[in-house]
Amino acid sequence: MDTSIILKPLSIQDVRSFYTWVNDPEAIKYSLSLFQSLNTKEAIDKWFISVVNDSKNYNQGIFLAHSNTLVGYAGICNISASNKLGEYFIFIGDRNQWGKGIGSQVTKLVVALGFEELNLNRIMLTVSEPNYAAVKAYKNAGFKMEGKMRQACYRDNKFHDKLIMSILREEWNN
């Protein structure tokens, strides 16, 4: 059940959605560790401005096509032009949009942009092992399991493993 989405740059006005999302423990459970410590409007503003003004990484807002509503953001960070690689990330903060295929759709779009526009050869990611929906979306987009970082994440008062996955240009179905 795919929902039509559009990827486009974030603007300063888009920060308002993050005030709600970053303060929702369920929405940030497996997300960027930094989100665990962004607990004021000012801290979120400072982080968000750095994202919007970041020219070294590829950051895009995820918008519903029919309503132009922001539901999250995704992109590729830690880009190495010399090694032709980068690290994929996605955050869908609007929990009403979970389970609708947006993660799979966005992942495929960003991977295509990584290979076609950024001329990357390898795109990797890390994902919390208990985040089954994300692991499924990444596998659907062609990512392969590379390994595991043992007890690399601490959530809900316990440690869990993070999985390392990647996709190579030669494996990618365009």
CA distances from 13 to 63, 92, 136, 173 (A): 14, 17, 32, 35
Task: Give the C-alpha separation, 1 to 112, whole Å.
Answer: 21
3-state DSSP call for residue 153? Answer: strand
Query: What is the count of structural domains for the chain?
Result: 1
Strand blocks (E) in the chain? 5-8, 58-64, 69-80, 85-92, 122-128, 144-155, 158-168
Q: Residues in the chain with pLDDT < 70?
A: 1-2, 174
The two structure tokens encoding residue 88: 């994929």
Whether pTM > 0.95 for this model: the answer is: no
What CA–CA distance (Å, rounded) separates 46 from 19?
12
Q: pLDDT (tens digit, 9 = 90+) per residue, 82-102?
A: 999 999 999 999 999 999 999
Whole domain around residue 130: which residue ranges? 5-171
User: Which residue type is seen at 172?
Assistant: W
Q: Tokens 């807002």 belong to which residue?
A: 61
Which pLDDT value is given to residue 1? 47
Quote the crossing angle between the two packed helices 15-22 and 41-52, to the nearest 10°: 130
CATH of residue 97 = 3.40.630.30
State the pLDDT at residue 133.
87
Q: How far is CA 95 from its chain centroid?
A: 14
Q: What is the pLDDT of residue 109?
A: 95
**Among 4, 38, 28, 2, which Cα is nearest to 128's?**
28
